[in-house]
Amino acid sequence: MSSIAIIGGGPAGLFAAERLASAGLGVTVFDRMPSPGRKFLMAGRGGLNLTHSEPLERFLGRYPDLPDALERAIRAFPPDALRDFARDLGETTFIGTSGRVFPQAMKASPMLRAWLRRLESLRVAFRFRHDWRGWDETGALSFATPDGPVSIRADATLLALGGASWPRLGSDGRWTTILGGAGVEITPMLASNVGVLAAWTAKMRERAGEPLKRTDFAVGATGVIGEAVVTEKGLEGGAIYALSSAIRAGLAQGRVTLMLDFRPDLTHPALLRRLSEGRKGDSLANRLRKGAGLSAVQVALLHEAAFRDGKKLADEGPQGLARRIKACPVPITGMAGLERAISTAGGVRFGALSPDFMLQVRPGTFVAGEMLDWDAPTGGYLLQATFATGNAAAQGMLRWLAR
């Protein structure tokens, strides 16, 4: 019976472990943390968005510069297959109003517990507090453990070490140094699905924690209607995460300005009529609250923009107010760090892999999950690709072992 080492106890590693153990192979999962699936559990705090229900072609279009290998992996293990997998674990799923797919429990812990029980029944072994350090001089896998260095030999290895986001949960990206030193081509890892930084005034910082709802957020020609939250340092939330790629690309070229439309449901003329219909003597606050239907934090952002222009919002007439409400600029100074990012972009380049997800410079060593050089917005696309690449790597390992 072949001996398989899987390094990384996240969704990609666990899914590959199940596939390989189900094929009769002896599988051991190694993880540097005291327990598996820590980032998976963190993802579940917001409802565990497993995947998305939209048609597959539209689904695939959500991945920026979709690599061919990732497309093949998702087609081989599409969203419906992930929903079937969850159901087999006793977690039926439902489709939310946005089309996103969630388990009925709305959290990850029940699914993870059922999954670990299944892996135990398949005799998958776990070795925790094993921090992978590369290969020793004999070619064996080298680990640092609380009891000292350990070397392990395996017939095939899967690296599923994650990206570099939320490093306190176990994936800190240190593997880039190991693999880079072994000649593996790696795209530098950058924060994705992360908040942005803005140079707020002290008055705006007081609004930290307040939500921006029913707003159209745009960077250039790329826009999304959604929600975000004001933080002391900028903005974060689903709408901001969806624009991560565009913001990151813009910052690489220089400055980026996020344009906010606070009333995307109204045309400029319709908004102008509402602002002009107020009673004579109405305060600015009343015109913006009653006439334009703005929240307090949206009004604060309008004041912030006027202040940057050296003006006072109170001096604006209906025409000027309507213009600002439909196009309120927020200069972006940067992106939050990896410690706050939901995911990372960059990683092992697909050109460094065989079609079976095996490292070309290291036969018998395969790669899956967020370690790979792909990017995706939130909405179910991250977990779907993680599971799909775990499945693709496991199938590749089976074919390689058979040969």
pLDDT given for residue 245 in this prediction? 86
**Residue 142 contacts residue 134 (beta carbons within 8 Å):** yes
β-pair type (26-31, 125-128): parallel
Render pLDDT for 224-250 as a digit per residue (tens, 0 to 9): 999 999 999 999 998 999 898 899 889
Render pLDDT for 195-217 as a digit per residue (tens, 0 to 9): 999 999 999 999 999 999 989 99
Placement of tokens 């968005």 in the chain: 49
148 φψ region: left (φ > 0), alpha (ψ -120 to 50), beta (else): left
Q: In sequence order, which ranges of 222-295 are alpha helices (DSSP H)?
A: 238-242, 244-253, 268-276, 284-286
Please state, in angstroms and rounded to a whole number, the distance separating the CA atoms of residues 212 and 223. 15
- CATH 3.50.50.60 domain locations along the chain: 3-192+342-402
pLDDT given for residue 338 in this prediction? 84
pLDDT given for residue 255 in this prediction? 86
pLDDT given for residue 1 in this prediction? 59
Nearest CA to 386 among 105, 130, 26, 43? 43
Q: In sequence order, which ranges of 146-225 are alpha helices (DSSP H)?
A: 175-181, 202-205
The residue ranges of the chain whose pLDDT is under 50 are none
Q: In sequence order, which ranges of 263-356 are alpha helices (DSSP H)?
A: 268-276, 284-286, 296-308, 318-326
Please state, in angstroms and rounded to a whole number, the distance separating the CA atoms of residues 285 and 298. 11
Q: Check if CATH label 3.50.50.60 holds for domain 3-192+342-402.
A: yes
pLDDT given for residue 403 in this prediction? 87
